[in-house]
Amino acid sequence: MDVTASAPQYPKDKDDDSADFGDFVSNEDEELDLEEVVEPWHKYDMKENSHVFYPICVGEVLNERYLVEHKIGSGGFSTVWMAHDLHDQRDVALKVMSSGEWGETEIRMHDKIVQKVQDTSHLVMYLATFLLPGNNCYHRVLVFPLMGPCLYPVILRNMSMATRMSAARQLLEALENLHQAGIVHRDLNERNCMWGMVPLHNLNRSAKYEALGRPLKRIIPYVELWKQGELVRPIKVPDNLRTEEFYLGDFGLAMQLGDPETPRGYPPMQFCSPDRLHRKGPSFACDMWSYMVIFAELYLGYTPFPTWLKGGIISGIVRSLGPLPESWRGHYTHPGGLESWYDQCKKPDPNHDLASTIAYYRPDADQIERELVHAVMNRVFTYCPEKRLTATQLLQDPSFRAIMGKYGC
């Protein structure tokens, strides 16, 4: 049910730690450190943005129910906050959308997924939604279960291969469920994949801050705001609070095949299939390419194609897989395309092809395992979308099953 929120409130009870909502920056070094991990301040400037962010302070109560206790992160069209649901006495994540149509688009797709997808157990679905009144606009807020850390290479270093391969299998099963319902995710990347988290709602706020880090914050600078807001350093989820469950979220770009209207956008270049970057339409095969980049990251600890070469990610792909189809020449959607990408005389660089990349990043794996992984990657990292394995086919693929079996998945 849609509920339009009243003005933000602040708790009046000063007992225990109810008045403690983190620390303001105290020097220039802290300001600079904070600037590196928060959203740009100009996202809150109505003069510069048609899709402006909603300013929030830690300690506000939104919709007379959700006490904002910490920051989780931000994206291109939203900020995400950790809040305590005062009604249900549990911690949740609040995704506060920028003004505009993005929130309505995402919620429509969530509703469609609930209607059409048989198994949503590994999809992060909203629990409730409401509207916040802004400055001559409204901001859609989606309430989600509180999740653990997203997939970042730095956190893989301390994870067992069993945990990492279990995540790969769970993600593929979640994607299969979407695809069987005719839904393409279209934005599969490491920020939309996350582990579960041990519930913290039985802890007081001091204990939560001890576990997740105290909020370091500053008032949003340089912008004349209609209400006060803060830039806040995000939480850091320690390993002992992460569960083995793995989830797929963020359906802002998702679409059902055949829909006449679809939201514009691509996944980040590092995860985008090369056919999508050459004016080919979105498809299940595009999701599978993105999935295989994530599989590679989980297995190798790094994404498989470099982005630092001249020409960016496509040059990294061509170096590893060989030239793009000649028929794609002239259809690249971004500036900086290179004619050499389509030179059919070129061959994959033997020092940087998939087999060499696997051997380099996983010298501990035996030859049989490397060949299995190479076979799996080859069956999805193919330029022709029609030749890529589907999610169902990959789950049944003997090489994939052998890898999962080795790690008890």
Collapsed DSSP state (helix, strand, coil) of residue 281: coil
What's the pLDDT at 18? 66
What's the pLDDT at 150? 93
Is the pLDDT reported for residue 102 higher than 80? Answer: no
Average pLDDT (5-22) is 56
- CA quadruple 355, 360, 361, 363: dihedral, nearest 10: 100
pLDDT band at 260 (very low <50, low <70, confident <90, very high): confident
Is the pLDDT reported for residue 5 higher than 50? Answer: no
Average pLDDT (84-91) is 96
Share of the chain above pLDDT 70, in %: 95
What's the pLDDT at 13? 42
Average pLDDT (351-380) is 97
95 is in an annotated binding site: yes
> What is the DSSP track for 342-378?
G-TT----TTTSHHHHHHHH-TTS-HHHHHHHHHHHH
Q: Rounded to whole angstroms, how far apart are CA atoms 21 and 98?
A: 24
What's the pLDDT at 264? 78
What's the pLDDT at 17? 62
Give, to the nearest 10 degrees, the angle between helix 367-378 and helix 354-361.
140
Q: What are the tokens at 362?
A: 């996983």
Please state, rounded to an integer, the average pLDDT across all residues of the chain. 92
Q: Specify the range with the lowest mean pLDDT, choosing from 9-13, 28-32, 101-105, 148-152.
A: 9-13
What's the pLDDT at 330? 93
Is the pLDDT reported for residue 75 higher than 90? Answer: no
What's the pLDDT at 14? 38
> Is the dihedral angle over the CA atoms 331, 335, 339, 345 positive or is it negative?
negative
pLDDT tens digits, one per residue of 29-39: 999 999 999 99
Q: Which amino acid is at 351?
A: N
Is the pLDDT reported for residue 261 higher than 80? Answer: no
pLDDT tens digits, one per residue of 309-340: 999 999 999 999 999 999 999 999 998 899 99
Is the pLDDT reported for residue 245 higher than 90? Answer: yes
Q: What are the tokens at 70?
A: 């910490």
Alpha helices in 7-90 (DSSP H): 28-35
pLDDT band at 12 (very low <50, low <70, confident <90, very high): very low
